[in-house]
Amino acid sequence: MSVQGLSINLATVRPQFGFAAAVDACLTQGITAIAPWRDQVAAIGLDEAARIIKANAVQVTGYCRGGMFPASDKIGLAAAIDDNKRAIDESAALGADCLVMVVGGLPGTSKDIEAARAMVADGLAAILPYARACKVPLAIEPLHPMYAGDRACVNTLEQALDLCDALGVGIGVAIDVYHTWWDPKIRAQIARAGRNGQILAHHISDWLIPTRDLLLDRGMMGDGVIDLKQIRADIEQAGFHGAQEVEIFSSENWWKRPGEEVIATCIERYRTVC
């Protein structure tokens, strides 16, 4: 039986499966949409990954990930631009719906977050024409503020959309509930994004209380405090009806279980709490 509207970000089963095994495990349970990471694709080879996707008519709801623009010097900034262009090429080869942008944090020993944010804006502007030419939409993913220093200095949907508005066509947002659920402006900003056709992806998981690790303790949908149905309703109201993509980093729980069980649980929770 096909599971419509559900995508598995392959980080969710990273320790259990390589790319090919992950796709197989998804297809076996009726899931026909995935979101792979660059290292997972590199491990099997871009051509083989693209072949598997095409042969099985798999939808790629996003490719993870571009971004990481801030750097301490011009060589680092230029290297990030080049690497992002390669990620755009790979996204095109895989037929991904978008390239997810985790924009990067403070470079080196810098404490100047405004400067880092300016580097992000400049980096996005530098690659956007190439992304447009390759027909690869860029999806800025605002990350939770607890990652502002080391992973992404774009931390609210409003900030991401301000960037998108300044940059023009070809760029939008990936709305991950884990990063955005707390935001008092989330509903208004989802509506704003919808008005401008800027919602490119919707990622789901849950916020656990307590959260034992800043990076690797995301919860399965339903095990935490996020009102997933409300956020989904807002996103659909805003005009986005694409897949909900499960992205769970969970070193002490889900990454230790059999991959088939994880995927089955995603399906069950998707049907009951999302």
Residues making contact with its own copies (CB under 8 A): 106, 110-113, 117, 144-146, 148-150, 153, 155-156, 159, 181-184, 207, 209-211, 214, 224-227
- Comparing CB distances to its own copies, the nearer of 57 and 109 is 109
Q: Which two tokens stand for residue 268?
A: 């069950």
- Comparing CB distances to its own copies, the nearer of 27 and 216 is 216
CB within 8 Å of 78: residues ≥ 6 apart? none
CB of 272 to its own copies, least distance (A): 14
Compute CA 269 distance to the chain's CA centroid, rounded to the nearest angstrom: 20
Q: Which two tokens stand for residue 91?
A: 């996204």
The burial of 222, by beta-carbon neighbours within 10 Å (0-12 exposed, 13-18 middle, 19 or more buried), is given as middle
* Token pair 């690497």 in the structure block, residue: 83
- Comparing CB distances to its own copies, the nearer of 19 and 178 is 178
- Comparing CB distances to its own copies, the nearer of 150 and 261 is 150
CB of 139 to its own copies, least distance (A): 19
Directed axis angle between helix 186-195 and helix 228-237, to 10°?
A: 30
Residue 64: name the closest of 123, 143, 132 by CA. Answer: 143
Residue 91: name the closest of 70, 116, 62 by CA. Answer: 62
CB of 262 to its own copies, least distance (A): 23
- Comparing CB distances to its own copies, the nearer of 227 and 252 is 227
- Comparing CB distances to its own copies, the nearer of 159 and 196 is 159
Q: What is the DSSP string of 204-227?
A: E-B--SS---TTTBPBPTTSSS--
CB of 260 to its own copies, least distance (A): 29
The residue type found at 99 is: L
CB of 214 to its own copies, least distance (A): 6
CB of 33 to its own copies, least distance (A): 26
CA distances from 57 to 27, 173, 221 (A): 10, 25, 27
